[in-house]
Amino acid sequence: MMYEQDDLREAKRQIESTLHKLRETVKTLEGKENPSRYKSQITLAKRRIKAFTIAVTLIEQQLENGKNG
């Protein structure tokens, strides 16, 4: 599926914003007095961080390919 360069840049920007919020959430939860109480939320946030990081990498690759193509 083909996407416009502007759409890809905006998607990347939105994902990066979400990544920032997720990383802050992990820091906050891990910094709590009893972080094991939040183990499932921390695990979910870390999995989402990994997934969104992959998405950003793929978007960056697509943007780079679009410049050369």
Question: At how many degrees (to 10) do helices 5-30 and 39-68 cross?
Answer: 160
> For the chain, where are the alpha helices, taking DSSP H only?
5-30, 39-68
pLDDT tens digits, one per residue of 10-51:
999 999 999 999 999 999 999 999 999 999 999 999 999 999
57, 13 contact by CB (below 8 A): no
Q: How much is the pTM? A: 0.89
* The pLDDT of residue 64 is above 70: yes
The predicted pLDDT at position 32 comes to 97
Q: How confident is the model at residue 2 (pLDDT cuts 50, 70, 90)?
A: confident
**Rounded distance between C-alpha atoms, residue 9 and residue 59, angstroms:** 8
* The pLDDT of residue 1 is above 90: no
